[in-house]
Amino acid sequence: MTFTKIAFVAAEHSEAQEGLETLTRLYGQAEPEDAEVIVALGGDGFMLSTMHQCVNLGVPLYGMNKGTVGFLMNDFSEDRLRERLTEAEPANLHPLRMVATQSDGSTHEAIAFNEVSLLRETRQAAKIQISVDGRVRLKELICDGVLVATAAGSTAYNLSAHGPILPIDSRILALTPISAFRPRRWRGALLPHKAEVRLQMMETDKRPTSAVADHTEVRSVVDVRIREDRKMNMVCLFDPEHSLEERILLEQFIG
């Protein structure tokens, strides 16, 4: 496919805006709703925000690094952009869907391409019961928090919490504790991508907990359900010499 209608979006900082000005001058500018591809200029944080904004458009997304972290980004260059887009390899990313219930009974839904994480709000450790597909698997986890990560997100917060790196086509989710106190030696679990995870907070008055789906935070949660939403799909494009699959594989050999 030859891409003629390209929509460029950029982070607010000067370097990304300068790249936006240069590329729109060279290749024109289409509206995201009418584009054949969206090119995002910035870092991983901006790429993630753009994925959330564009997931329902059905338009592939190609990131170019104009930020500090560029794991999800391709190298920036003004040259051969249409050829690079044509040669790029697609990665289909399905987000997690979080349904979080607060202590007042209200519920909130959000999606996450990287992870859904639960975090203690005060000095008191969180106390969480973990169920998978309706069966209690861990009656009581005392911790700073716990997260469920996608393969694409396994190299982000999940990796910082000593969770496993997952191949992009593994169809596996990572369930990873954050600073577990009891059981102290529990390091998490690998779950089928179709699994539904339920996290129930215990002693919520004493141990308030927040739930975060990428950028969306819900405070004082008592019950959180997490599952992969296969009906939603974000196609991200990567240069063939540095595909997302290769990046995740390479990350396992970096010291």
pLDDT score of 5 more than 70: yes
At residue 11's C-alpha, the angle toward residues 9 and 12, to 5°, is 120
**Residue 213 near residue 202, CB atoms below 8 Å:** no
Mean pLDDT, the chain, whole residue set: 94
pLDDT score of 208 more than 80: yes
pLDDT score of 1 more than 80: no
Which pairs with CB-CB distance under 8 Å and at least 24 residues apart come from 166-173? 166/190, 166/248, 167/245, 167/248, 167/249, 168/91, 168/244, 168/245, 168/248, 169/245, 173/96, 173/148, 173/149, 173/197, 173/228
Cα 39 to the chain's mean position, in Å?
A: 18
CATH number, span 6-93+233-251:
3.40.50.10330
pLDDT band per the 50, 70, 90 thresholds, residue 72: confident
Q: Between the CA of residue 170 and those of 166, 167, 226, 243, what are the distances in Å?
A: 7, 5, 18, 15
- 223 included as an active-site residue: no
pLDDT at 252: 79
Choice among 44, 104, 169, 205 that is catalytic: 44
Q: Which of 80, 3, 34 is nearest to 64 (CA)?
A: 80
Q: Calculate mean pLDDT across residues 108-135.
A: 97
Q: Rounding to the nearest 10 degrees, give the CA dihedral for residues 240, 241, 246, 250.
A: -170
In the block, which residue shows the tokens 């995870």? 197
pLDDT band per the 50, 70, 90 thresholds, residue 12: very high
Q: Between the CA of residue 5 and those of 33, 82, 154, 186, what are the distances in Å?
A: 10, 10, 33, 50
Pick the CATH number of 96-228 from 3.90.1640.10, 1.10.4080.10, 2.60.200.30, 1.10.10.10: 2.60.200.30
H or E stretch covering 81? helix 81-87
**Residue 2 near residue 86, CB atoms below 8 Å:** yes
pLDDT score of 202 more than 80: yes
pLDDT in tens, 126-163: 999 999 999 999 999 999 999 999 999 999 999 999 99
pLDDT at 241: 83
Cα 124 to the chain's mean position, in Å?
A: 27
Rg of the chain taking only CA atoms, in angstroms: 20
Quote the CA–CA distance of 5 and 27 in Å, as a whole number. 9
pLDDT band per the 50, 70, 90 thresholds, residue 255: low
pLDDT at 133: 98
Chain region(s) in the chain for CATH 3.40.50.10330: 6-93+233-251
